[in-house]
Amino acid sequence: MATEIYVIAGFLGAGKTTLIQKLLRETFKKEKVVLIENDFGEISIDAALLRSGGIEVREINSGCICCSLSGDFVKALQELLDRFHPDKIVIEPSGVSKLSDIVKACSDPRLQPLAEVKGKITIVDANRCALYLDNFGEFFEDQIRNAGIILLSRTGDCPEEIKDVYKLIRDLNTHASILAKPWDQINAAEILFPQDHCHEHTHGHEHIHDHDCDHSHNHSAEDIFDTVTIQTKRVFSPEELKARVAHMERITGGTVLRAKGILRTSGGYVNLQYLPGDIRITSCTTRGNTLCLIGRNLDRQELAGLFSGE
C-alpha cells in the first residue's frame, strides 16, 4: 500500500506543530510515521520538541523544502520510503512556504507508486487571518487556495469574527472543508476526514493551483523575511526572559513576527513561543540554548545583544 503523505501548512505560529502532536497522539499512534520538518531557523526547535516524543524526524532547515532540495527532494523521499517503509509521512513546511510547491514536489510521478498526497491541511490563525492576508498574501493566499482542509486556530480569541474569516477563506478557496471547532472538541480523525468532503481526501493531490516551482519564490521568501538564530549561554530568570521578549517588541530594528526557542532559565529549561502580543514560556524537559526568530528587517546584532548580552 502506498505511503500516505499529509502536508500540514499554515503561516507563522498558526499551530502546525500543535496539530501534528495531536495527530500523532490521537490518530497515528499505532502507525509508523516519519515527520519532515522544514523549520525557518538554522536549528529546528520543532524537531527537537517532537523528537523528544520518540518520533522519527527529518529536518530540512534551509529555505523552502522543494527549492532547497530541488530535484533531490523526490530522491530524499524515496530514500526515506526505502529505509523506513513508513505508513505515513507528515510534512510540516515552514510558515513562509507555499503549499502548492510542496504538493507539486510530493506529487512527482516517480513517487506515485510509493507514496501519495492524502491530506493538504492548512491551519489559519483566525485572529491574524486578515492581517496576514493584507501583509503576506503571496505566501498565505497560496496556503489557503491549495488546501483540501482548512482548520481554524485561536477561534476562542475572536468568536465574533469567525464569519468574516470564513468569508475571506471562501473567497480564495471554494472547495476546502473549513473546520472552526475548538481543537479540544474535535478529534484528529475528524480533521483529516471531515464528513462532508471525503472525496477531497481521496483526490486531494489533484487540486494544485497557481505557479510553477521556478525557484524565484524561494528567493522572494528570503528577500521578504529575515531569520536570526541566537545561541546563548545566558541563564535568565523566567521573569527576566519574559521582560527581554517584551522588550523585543520595542526594539528599533524591524519587526519580529515569530520567535521560538528552548532556553535555560534559573528555574530549568523552558519552551519559549512568541507571536506579536502573545508570549508563552513553559517549562520543558528538552534541553537547549537556542532562540530562532523570523521577521522583517531584523537587526541581528541588536537581537543577539538582547538575548546574549548583559
Query: What is d(CA 169, CA 173) in angstroms, rounded to the nearest whole number?
Result: 6
Check if the beta carbon of residue 151 is closer than 8 Å to that of residue 179.
yes
**Is residue 88 close enough to count as binding ligand GTP by CB under 6 A?**
no
By beta-carbon proximity to ligand GTP, the closer residue of 155 and 177 is 155
Applying CB under 6 A, the span of 7-15, 67-75, 106-114, 295-303 interacting with ligand GTP comes to 7-15
For residue 9, give the C-alpha cell. Answer: 501548512
Nearer to ligand GTP, 17 or 173 (CB): 17
Question: Nearer to ligand GTP by C-beta: 194 or 261?
Answer: 261
Whichever of 34 and 45 has its CB closer to ligand GTP, that residue is 45
Q: Binder to ligand GTP among 58, 88, 154, 217 (CB under 6 A)?
A: 154
**Cell triple for 262:** 528552548
Which three cell numbers, joined as nine digits, stand for 300? 541581528
Q: How far is the CB of 1 from ligand GTP (least distance, A)?
A: 29
Beta strand pairing status for 226-231 and 255-265?
unpaired
- Residue 103 binds ligand GTP, judged by CB under 6 A: no
Neighbours of 40 (CB within 10 A): 26
| Secondary structure of 121-152 as H, E, C letters | EEEEECCCHHHHHHHHHHHHHHHHHCCCEEEE
Using the minimum distance from each CB to ligand GTP, give the nearer residue, 13 or 63.
13
Q: Tell the smallest beta-carbon distance from residue 159 to ligand GTP (Å).
A: 12
Which residue from 3, 86, 41 is spatially nearest to 260, judged by alpha carbons?
Answer: 41
CB atoms within 10 A of CB 198: 11
Site for ligand GTP in 171-190 (CB under 6 A): 183
CA distance 82 to 172: 38
Choosing from 280, 297, 308, 309, the residue that interacts with ligand GTP (CB under 6 A) is: 280
**Interface with ligand GTP, residue 15, by CB under 6 A:** yes
Residues with Cβ within 8 Å of residue 208, at least 6 apart in sequence: 100, 103, 104, 107, 146
Contact indicator for 98, 63 with CB cutoff of 8 Å? no
Contact between 153 and ligand GTP (CB under 6 A)? yes
Residue number, nearest CB to ligand GTP: 15
CB of 208 to ligand GTP, least distance (A): 22
Q: In sequence order, what are the beta bridge partners of 226?
A: 295
User: All 3 cell numbers of residue 190?
Assistant: 475528524
The nearest distance, CB 17 to ligand GTP, in angstroms, is 3
Q: Phi first, then psi: what are they for 28, rounded to 5°?
A: -105, 15
Q: Minimum CB separation from ligand GTP for residue 294, in Å?
A: 7
Q: Which stretch binds ligand GTP (CB under 6 A): 14-22, 142-150, 194-202, 301-309?
A: 14-22
Whose Cβ is closer to ligand GTP: residue 18's or residue 255's? 18
| Nearest distance in Å: CB 78, ligand GTP | 26
Sign, Cα dihedral of 48, 49, 51, 52: positive
Which of 13, 63, 261, 295 is close enough to bind ligand GTP by CB under 6 A?
Answer: 13
- Work out which of 12, 64, 147, 230 binds ligand GTP, going by CB under 6 A: 12
DSSP secondary structure of 53-70: TT-EEEE--SS-HHHHHT
Which residues in this chain contact ligand GTP in the complex, by CB under 6 A?
A: 10, 12-18, 46, 95, 153-154, 183, 258, 260, 273, 280
